[in-house]
Structure formats: C-alpha cells, structure tokens
Copies of this chain bind each other. A is one copy, B any other.
Amino acid sequence: MYTRKEQLMIKALNQAKLAYKKGETPVGAIIVRDGQIISRGHNLKETKKDVTSHAEIEAIRRAARKLGTWRLDGCEMYVTLEPCPMCAGAIIQSRISTLYIGAMDNRAGAAGSAIDLFRIGQFNHRVDVVIGLLFEECGELLKDFFRNARRDADKGYK
C-alpha cells in the first residue's frame, strides 16, 4: 500500500522509464500543485542534443508554459534522482516549494552529495527538500540501466 507521496514518486518513476526506453539515463520528474500533476518530464539530453534537457528542467519549462509564468510558488517536484547543480539551481529559481528526491547521486548531486545548493542562505528562495522517497525503486532503475550500458560496452556495441 503506497502513500500519496509514494504514488506521486511512482508517476515520476514512470517518466524515468520513458527515458530508459529512449536510451537516456532514466531520470523522471513531475510537478504537482494543489494535489494535481501539472507537468511531467524525463531526461531527453541525447534525444534533443540539449544539455539542459534533464527531467527537472523539462518539467519546469512545461509547468511554466501551462501556468503562463515562470513562478512555481506552491508547487512540489518529485524527482527520481538527486538533482545536479544545474537542475538544483533551476528548482530554486523557479521557487518550487518542496522537492521530493528518490535516489541520491553520490558523484554529482547538489542536494548534499557533491554539494548542497539548497542550504546556501543567500539565494532569494528556500526549497524544502525531502530525501529518500522510494529510493530503492528509483536507484534500482538507474543501476539496471548502467549495468546494461556496461554490458553493451563490453560487447563492443558502443
């Protein structure tokens, strides 16, 4: 039996699976306002040949288009992997209220792993961050992707 927040992370995981099917590192995000999902995004960096097309930024841009403003005050984001500095910066600037993170990114994560951008006081917005929501499920999908990528590399596919 999943909680409501876990159910929303599962929606983000479904986005991550869409990325996986396209050969992208499987990361997904959704944005919720007043309990409703207002946008979804998954990593499309390779597909779009755009370094900024991470799941979080895809979702932020889509939410802004939908709401007609870049201000996402009162919105929550659910993302399957700890954001990188670029995405953490975009989340802070868009004024998202609460961020729910699944798995952590020990190498490049910006919510406590490589750095914690959410604890720098001088930015003009403070995001509440909740870590570890369905972290096993979120992490397993990524591990599976990288296992397969290595196996393909070993076979000389890449």
Count class of interface residues, chain A: 20 to 34
* A49 at interface, CB cutoff 8 A: yes
How far does the Cβ of A52 sit from chain B's closest Cβ, in whole Å?
6
- Copies of this protein in the assembly total 2
Contacts of A123 in B (CB 8 A): 108, 114
Alpha-carbon separation in the docked complex, A45 to B68 (Å): 12
The reply to whether B51 and A94 form a contact with Cβ atoms under 8 Å apart is: yes
**Contact check: which of B52, B89, B94, B122 meets A61 at CB < 8 Å?**
B52
* A97 at interface, CB cutoff 8 A: no
The reply to whether A93 and B86 form a contact with Cβ atoms under 8 Å apart is: yes
**Contact check: which of B51, B88, B107, B108 meets A85 at CB < 8 Å?**
B88
